């Protein structure tokens, strides 16, 4: 387990030890990438079928949280999401 300060620095925890918007936005981003990789009509490891409605809903949630993702980290150039 990472030290608390490192989790705060990475945006995973905020000062109040609650899950940050950054972590949630990253989750939705990862889900969209997984859906794209698996393909329409396939099932996730949890048995959820990938449908247009699932992708649309996940994308909408991600877009609302997208501003919370850090696109620049120390030593990196501008990233794309």
Q: Residue 59: left (phi > 0), alpha (psi -120 to 50), or beta?
A: alpha
Contacts 24+ apart (CB under 8 A), 29-37: 29/62, 29/69, 29/81, 31/58, 31/62, 32/58, 32/59, 32/62
The structure's pTM equals 0.64
Total of domains in the chain: 1
Q: Is residue 43 in some structural domain?
A: yes
Which domain, by its residues, includes 41? 4-68
Would you say residue 80 lies in a domain? no
User: ∠ at Cα 36 (31, 41), nearest 5°?
Assistant: 100
Helix (H) or strand (E) holding 21: helix 21-38
22-78 residue pLDDT tens: 778 889 999 999 999 999 999 999 999 999 999 999 999 999 888 877 643 444 343
Look at residue 55 and tell me if it is in a domain.
Answer: yes
Instruction: Let me know if residue 75 belongs to a domain.
Output: no
Q: Does residue 81 belong to any structural domain of this protein? A: no
């Amino acid at each position: 387990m990472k030290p608390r300060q490192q989790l705060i620095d990475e945006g995973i925890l905020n000062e109040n030890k609650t899950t940050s918007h950054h972590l949630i936005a990253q989750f939705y981003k990862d889900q969209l990438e997984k859906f794209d990789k698996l393909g329409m009509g396939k099932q996730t490891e949890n048995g959820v079928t990938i449908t247009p409605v699932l992708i649309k809903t996940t994308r909408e949630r991600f877009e609302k949280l997208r501003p919370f993702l850090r696109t620049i980290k120390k030593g990196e150039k501008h990233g794309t999401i």
